[in-house]
Chain A
Amino acid sequence: DQQVKQNSPSLSVQEGRISILNCDYTNSMFDYFLWYKKYPAEGPTFLISISSIKDKNEDGRFTVFLNKSAKHLSLHIVPSQPGDSAVYFCAASRWDTGNQFYFGTGTSLTVIP
């Protein structure tokens, strides 16, 4: 049973425009969310996280928004660059099972020069 879902397997965006990657979750007990970026033949690398006590967290070109009532989070990349082309995974965890991170299926982002 997939508790974290990324319903868009792929996304293409022009360089310089905004990329918006979406993630939905079903478990209302999740209280910590992360985004990871993965290039082919490499391990995922941490990008940005957000705690459920916030609704927005920003780090340079990357902003994560959390809508708890909708059980939805999104990652905004502005402006998008060709080097951002990768697979993006969202992940969630809950405080009482802190070692269990639940990952989505990933969205492959292509930034077109």
Chain B
Amino acid sequence: DVKVTQSSRYLVKRTGEKVFLECVQDMDHENMFWYRQDPGLGLRLIYFSYDVKMKEKGDIPEGYSVSREKKERFSLILESASTNQTSMYLCASRLAGNQNTGELFFGEGSRLTVL
């Protein structure tokens, strides 16, 4: 079974702090994604990566950056956390291949609260 592991389930940070959210997958998937989930807004794509050192902006990249130095690891970085970044963050991975078929495998999520 595919396992997507997010390093922190719950984090509490202060406004202005730098925040790192780590994600590791163990199935050699090429594609990795970061989403945030907010009530009434569903899941919104922040960034995705289709290969090591490659990244693409999603729908809401402002205030975030990402890093993919190794195939199995995809990090989300909040350079200066703000209260409107309080959310559930979900990492996902997917096997590349057929352009748009194949499901996303999600991690358990990281609940971030910014005070």
Contact = CB atoms under 8 A, between A and B. Distances in A.
Interface of A: 2, 4, 6, 9, 31-32, 34, 36, 41-46, 49, 51, 89, 91, 93-101, 103-106
Q: How large is the interface on B (under 10, 10 to 19, 20 to 34, 35 or more residues)?
A: 20 to 34
Question: Which of A49, A97, A105 counts the most chain B CB atoms within 10 A?
Answer: A105
B87 to A, nearest CB: 14
A42 B41 contact: no
B104 A101 contact: yes
B67 to A, nearest CB: 18
B106 A43 contact: yes
Question: Which of B33, B41, B43, B48 counts the most chain A CB atoms within 10 A?
Answer: B43
A41 B42 contact: no
B42 A46 contact: no
Contact of A42 (B31, B35, B43, B108): B108
Contacts of B48: 99-100
Given A43-B90, A46-B105, A99-B31, A106 B100 contact: no
B109 A46 contact: no
A49 B103 contact: yes
A46 B101 contact: no
A106 B38 CA distance: 10
B4 A43 contact: yes
Interface string B33-68: 101000011111100101000001010000000000
Given A100-B58, A103-B42, A105-B42, A43 B108 contact: yes
